[in-house]
A and B are shown apart, each in its own frame.
Chain A
Amino acid sequence: MKKLFRRGVVFSLAVIPALAALNATAWANSHLEKWPTSKVNTTGLAVTDDTVTIGILHSITGSMAISESGSVQAEKLAIKQINDAGGVLGRKIEWIQEDGATDWPNFAEKAKKLIVNDKVAAVMGCWTSASRKAVLPVFEQYNNMLYYPTMYEGLEASRNVVYTGQEATQQILAGIDWVVAEKKPKTFYFVGSDYIWPRTSFKIARKHIENVYNLKVIGEQYYPLGHTQFNSVINKMKLKKPDVIFSIVVGGSNVAFYKQMTGAGVDLTKQTVITISATEDEVRGIGGENIHGTYMFAKYFQSLDNPNNKKFVEEFKEMWGDDIVIGDVTNNAYLGPWLWKMAVEKAGSFDIDRIKEVNPGIEMANAPEGYVRIHETNHHLYSKLRVGRARMDGQFDVVHESELMEPDPFPEGYQ
């Protein structure tokens, strides 16, 4: 009885403002003539005359919260900007946020909840490959769209996912080309955390270094996630004196690695160190004084000097505070809602199947990183690779910019 009563209260609380909003916007319902709800939503998604609901699925608790909070902020900023500009097909975007809690099966459950119960029109979410692999079957079974922001190892191309980060070849091949041309090294040394992304990336890097340039990889070392002692590997590197150290250490280990490198007297402005795992977010924890001089390969840096990015950084800080830093993945997460909006508008429909059809070739010219385009077959983005050199203040100087690179998640000859 009590429950029923409470539900009644909640219902009326929800309905009254909704009705008020309806009255207020009734005069501006011209979009309904062009895109009537029955036409743009034939599969029962959460689309009303005035709103469309999408899901946000990231870890805001647990150890991945460190990395994923930036993505959530970026997605909310994009949604706000889209709404301020009139929404999607005349409908304001509303979001339902679920917490993945750094627990991969939990990601799958929450994804199912968002898709089946909430009937969201798309989901912005996931960060680690493990969480993406966990939700992928859900998205394919119930047919929904996932916008995935992280740079990752490749070896996947689902039609239900748009990968807004770079896959391994985009990040690594052009980066190695640059370092070989610039530093003329003879030898490389790899250090990484022990899981799929560093291992796959190093496999690609090794093939490229050995087969294309005929240079040597003289060491390849992996450490468990969360490892905090790197003195032994630093000693090994001191003995072998590699021309280039390539690091894909992640998380807390990343901080330990650089702190101990500088602690052991390795001068990163003289010893060439390249990495794909130290965005502005990580550098905050590492400290600029421990990492300055290191070269990072990414498609986006907060310091990119173009008008789109300046506007993006300004609005991001306005919404989330001045002391925030924006890394590569945060930029990628920001692209998600925009690419989805473009797909919906191109299709003239929220239907997932229509979005899948129109996804190939969608272009975004004013992204913070510049021009991007969704690939015709694998739904990754064409993007440029940039080489940034870490500064004392935790930002990067961009020292090199590649041509627009085709995404190639299944690189032939590199597997």
Chain B
Amino acid sequence: MRALVNLEYQDIKITSEKIRSRVEGKKMLGYTFGELGSIVAMQGFAGLILFSVFVLMGLGLAIIFGQLGVINMAHGEFMMMGMYITYIMQLLFIEFAPGLMNIYFFVAMAVAFIFTAIMGGCVEFLVVRHLYRRPLDTLLATWGISLILQQSIRVVFGTREVGVVKPEWMMGSVAVTDMIDIQIYGLVVMAITIALTIVVMYLMLRSVWGKHVRAVVQNREMAGAVGINTARTDRTTFAVGCGIAGIAGSAFTMISSTAPDAGQHYIVDTFLVVVFGGAGSLLGTVASAFAISQTQSTLEFFITGSMAKVWTLLIVIGILMVRPQGLFAVKIRR
């Protein structure tokens, strides 16, 4: 315990030194001004990567939870399916088209979307659509589905982690200066996030399907009365949400492990982002992902990771107590 206290004391000391060095323009603790500047830059970049990851995790769930009100506990498992599809695609490319390994990743992402979307559609048709009026039961039902998916992956691929290899060009980093290294995979994840967010925003706000979804959310009976096929809208919404989870999973193979239980690592943070952002608001999801990721990565720099998590959660809980509807709430009459 004392070690921990010492450690935090050290970290606080570094912070204060950092501030002082900036004020006095001197070398402090052996770090030059340039070194500290680069760390701030790299830490900012780390925060942006975390932000992208959170947005990727949250987008699919924001659509499902926000629009349909379904607490989809299997969201992490749809990500995990995306990871395994990437793995399968990698094997296929190594076997049949080794020359195209550089682009396999994007193909894998597209396949992951299609496959998980179809699966999502099936799950909706078989299970979820019977439970729209009982949102708490969707929690149990989708949790059951998550267990089924995990165990089937275990049966098919074995219990051990599989290795997904990044394409050659995604390895390593670009050295901007001696100190600053920008991770290439980080840039790729960010690019995917931006592209996906724009597409989803466009679909929700401009496309016919998006209009249908919003109409159904606002007033189901009325939407039905004006000729919108509400059942089909529900199904496509659920499928698209799952498909986005698949893309997210595919992207996460670059960052983390591919294992049957990998989805579990993300599910809590995903719900945190969506609930904090305000269910139903895509903008809220993006804003909350930004707020949480920046808080966490800044805290992680100054205190140890476990404590950073604790503080992040405490802050979120504190804000949700004051604002239970989350950061952004859609104002509709119910």
- Which residue of chain B has the shortest Cβ distance to A252 in the bound complex? B257
Residues of B within 8 A of A262 (CB): 171-172
Query: Closest CB-CB distance, B302 to chain A, in whole Å?
Result: 9
Residues of B within 8 A of A50 (CB): none
- Determine whether B16 belongs to the interface, using a CB cutoff of 8 Å to chain A: no
- Which residue of chain B has the shortest Cβ distance to A72 in the bound complex? B159
Given known contacts A65-B154, A232-B46, A235-B46, is B265 in contact with A252 (CB within 8 Å)? yes
Is B255 a contact partner of A256 (Cβ separation < 8 A)? yes
Residues of A within 8 A of B4 (CB): 220
Is B39 a contact partner of A239 (Cβ separation < 8 A)? yes
Q: Is the interface of A mostly helix, strand, loop or mixed?
A: helix
Is B7 a contact partner of A219 (Cβ separation < 8 A)? yes
Query: Closest CB-CB distance, B226 to chain A, in whole Å?
Result: 45
Is A239 a contact partner of B35 (Cβ separation < 8 A)? yes
- Determine whether A21 belongs to the interface, using a CB cutoff of 8 Å to chain B: no
Query: Closest CB-CB distance, B10 to chain A, in whole Å?
Result: 8
Query: Closest CB-CB distance, B160 to chain A, in whole Å?
Result: 5
- Determine whether B243 belongs to the interface, using a CB cutoff of 8 Å to chain A: no
Q: How does the 8 Å CB contact mask read for A222-259 relative to B, with 1 for contact and 0 for none?
A: 11101111011111101100000000000111111001
Given known contacts A254-B257, A286-B163, is B265 in contact with A226 (CB within 8 Å)? yes
Residues of A within 8 A of B184 (CB): 263
Is A63 a contact partner of B305 (Cβ separation < 8 A)? no
Given known contacts A63-B264, A231-B46, A263-B173, is B309 in contact with A224 (CB within 8 Å)? yes
What is the size, in residues, of chain B's interface with A at 8 Å between Cβ atoms?
56
Residues of A within 8 A of B45 (CB): 231
Tier of interface size on chain A? 35 or more
Is A289 a contact partner of B165 (Cβ separation < 8 A)? yes
Is B159 a contact partner of A224 (Cβ separation < 8 A)? no
Interface residues of A in 177-209 (CB under 8 A from B): 194, 203, 206
Q: How does the 8 Å CB contact mask read for B256-279 relative to A, with 1 for contact and 0 for none?
A: 111111101110000000000000
Of the candidates A224, A264, A284, A285, the one whose C-beta lies within 8 Å of that of B173 is A264
Query: Closest CB-CB distance, B27 to chain A, in whole Å?
Result: 14
A254, B265: Cα distance in complex, Å: 13
Residues of A within 8 A of B172 (CB): 262-263, 265
Interface residues of A in 255-299 (CB under 8 A from B): 255-256, 259-260, 262-265, 281-282, 284-287, 289
| Top 7 closest pairs, chain A to chain B, by CB | A285-B161, A231-B46, A255-B257, A223-B305, A265-B173, A265-B181, A232-B300
Listed by A's residue number, 11 A-B pairs whose Cβ atoms lie within 8 Å are A220-B4, A232-B301, A238-B39, A238-B42, A251-B257, A252-B161, A252-B259, A253-B257, A260-B183, A265-B173, A287-B164
Q: Contacts A69-B160, A263-B254 known; list 9 others, CB within 8 Å.
A: A220-B4, A223-B305, A231-B46, A233-B300, A234-B46, A235-B43, A235-B46, A253-B257, A263-B171
